[in-house]
Amino acid sequence: MELKDMVLEQLRTVYDPELGINVVDLGLIYDLRIDDGLVSIVMTLTTPGCPLHDSIVGGVKRALANVEGVQDVDVQITWNPPWTPERMSEAALRQLGHI
């Protein structure tokens, strides 16, 4: 398995505890780059001022801490473009009863 796939798989263990859906299926991960073991993630949250801001950002870093080949993790939070429900996977939308 490639390192990027392993990182994505690990990110699926980070759940939004309010919704019970992981950050990948929620569509919170905007960009993921790996350069010499440095994982750079650009992500968002479902709303600015989300009370779970620190927990989720910290969770992303912790989830990748023990992935072989990952030396460091940089997480940038962006509000542009803002998150929309269209970014969610079909499974996530179904879990929320939207489809």
Partner 1 sequence: MFPTQQTYETNIRLPFSFILFGTMAFFTSQAILLYSGSSIVHGAFRIPSVWAAVHLAVLGWGLMVAMGAMYQLVPVAFLTPIWSETLGFVQFFVTALGVLALSTSFAWKMDFVFFAGLFLTLGFVLFFLQMAMTLKKQPTKNILTLFVSTALICLFLTIALGVTLAFHFFSNVKVADHLLTLKTHLLFGLAGWFTLLIIGFSYKMVPMFSLAHGFSMTLARYVYIFYVGGLAVTFGSFLTNSSALFVSGMGLLLLGFALFSYHIVTILRKRVKKKLDRPFLFALLAIAIALCLHGTAFLFAIIGNTDSFGVIIYSYLFGWIILSIVGYLYKIVPFLWWTHRYSQKIGKENVPTLKQMMNEKWTVFSCVLFFTSFVGVITALAISSLPLFYFSQSGIVLFSLLFTGSIISVLLK
| Helix segments in the chain, DSSP class H | 3-11, 53-65, 90-95
Tell me the C-alpha distance between 48 and 44, whole Å: 9
Tell me which residues touch partner 1 (CB under 8 A). Answer: 13-15, 17-20, 46-65, 72-73, 75, 83-85, 88, 93, 96-98
Nearest CB to partner 1, comparing residues 31 and 96: 96
Which of these, 33, 30, 34, 55, lies nearest to 44 by C-alpha position? 30
Please, what is the minimum distance in Å from the beta carbon of residue 33 to partner 1? Answer: 16
Residue type, 1: M
Please, what is the minimum distance in Å from the beta carbon of residue 83 to partner 1? Answer: 8
Nearest CB to partner 1, comparing residues 65 and 91: 65
